[in-house]
């Protein structure tokens, strides 16, 4: 999982969302739902932590911009 920096949350309307899901398909489906609501810097892969169940996906959101911008 990439580290969250000050730039990711420097202003109101910016956020980082970490999704924990049972599988890649579910994690990417959640990311698509978020992308329909706001501008998103989408993740292209999930990560697995040894000994932990499921997968994680981290993406950055910008609520100030329209989806697809």
Q: How confident is the model at residue 11 (pLDDT cuts 50, 70, 90)?
A: confident
Per the structure, how many domains does the chain have?
A: 1
Contacts of 64 (CB under 8 A, 6+ apart): 11, 13, 14, 39
Strand-strand pairing, 39-41 and 14-21: unpaired
Give residue-wise pLDDT tens across range 12-61: 888 889 999 999 999 999 999 999 999 998 999 999 999 999 999 999 89
Q: Tell me which residue range forms the domain holding 47.
A: 6-62
Residue 69 lies in a domain: no
- The pTM of the full predicted model, rounded to 2 decimals, is 0.78
Residue 58 lies in a domain: yes
């Amino acid at each position: 999982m990439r580290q969250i920096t000050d730039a990711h949350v420097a202003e109101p309307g910016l956020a980082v969302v970490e999704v924990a899901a049972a599988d890649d398909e579910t994690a990417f489906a959640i990311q698509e739902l978020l992308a329909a609501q706001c501008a998103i810097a989408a993740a292209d892969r999930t990560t697995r932590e040894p000994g932990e169940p499921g997968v994680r996906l981290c993406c950055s959101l910008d609520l100030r911009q329209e989806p697809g911008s």
